[in-house]
């Protein structure tokens, strides 16, 4: 019998953490995958309470530690992290961290990249821009992370309609359904690809 080694995921989140929780729940019954750490730059983020409820360790850090030292990168290496998953994490990844984890950092964006990506395009700002542009569809983009906002290679996209009467809140709800439906599965598929 082949013994599989445990795959370890670190989740980065800055906000409520609904995607982080969905991913953690998805892997609960999988003995080969562990959510080893939830990492956040926001001590008031809702994801911290979710992590406590799920019994996942939390690492908090500030901007100086993240950008001016390699402490976070080294900690992730020491923890033998196989995949870094951004689940509503708002800061740009430092170059050293990206280089230490090539094709091992993925993000989800709440629109169909390359549209509505880049600095400042996150959360509600994206949905407002989609509605203002009279788009007929939006969706999610799951992509690898590089040193630039929303420019990494696309892994997966899913679409939802945007009607003329939709508000940004309506679009946000439709997009969140897609996030919760697809992100955990795609994370699992990327882990498998990295294992081949």
Assign domain 7-109+141-157+184-195 to a CATH class. alpha beta
Q: What are phi and psi of 110, to 5 degrees?
A: -85, 45
Residues in Cβ contact with 127 at an 8 Å cutoff, skipping those fewer than 6 apart: 110, 111, 138, 168, 169, 171, 172, 175
What is the rounded CA–CA span in Å between residue 195 and residue 172?
Answer: 34
> pLDDT tier at 3 (50, 70, 90 boundaries)?
very low
Tens digits of per-residue pLDDT, 25-70?
Answer: 999 999 999 999 999 999 999 999 999 999 999 999 999 999 999 9
79 DSSP assignment: T
pTM over 0.85? The answer is yes
- Detail the DSSP E strand segments found in the chain: 7-12, 33-40, 58-60, 83-86, 105-109, 137-144, 154-161
Residues that are catalytic: 109
Tens digits of per-residue pLDDT, 134-180?
Answer: 999 999 999 999 999 999 999 999 999 999 999 999 999 999 999 99
Q: How do the domains of the chain map onto residue ranges?
A: 7-109+141-157+184-195
């Amino acid at each position: 019998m082949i013994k599989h080694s445990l795959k370890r995921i670190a989740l980065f989140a800055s906000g409520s953490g609904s995607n982080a929780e969905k991913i953690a729940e998805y892997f609960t019954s999988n003995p080969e995958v562990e959510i080893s750490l939830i990492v956040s730059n926001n001590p008031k983020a809702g994801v911290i309470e979710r992590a406590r409820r799920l019994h996942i360790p939390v690492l908090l850090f500030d901007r100086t530690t993240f950008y001016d030292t390699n402490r976070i990168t080294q900690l992730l290496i020491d923890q033998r992290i196989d995949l870094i998953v951004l689940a509503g994490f708002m800061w740009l990844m430092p170059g050293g961290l990206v280089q230490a984890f090539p094709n091992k950092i993925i993000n989800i964006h709440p629109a169909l990249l390359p549209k509505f990506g880049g600095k400042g395009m996150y959360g509600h700002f994206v949905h407002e821009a989609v509605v203002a542009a009279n788009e007929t569809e939006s969706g999610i983009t799951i992509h690898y992370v590089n040193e630039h906002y929303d420019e990494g290679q696309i892994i997966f996209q899913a679409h939802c309609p945007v009607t003329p009467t939709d508000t940004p809140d309506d679009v946000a709800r439709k997009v969140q359904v897609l996030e919760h439906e697809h992100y955990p599965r795609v994370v699992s598929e990327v882990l498998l690809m990295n294992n081949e």
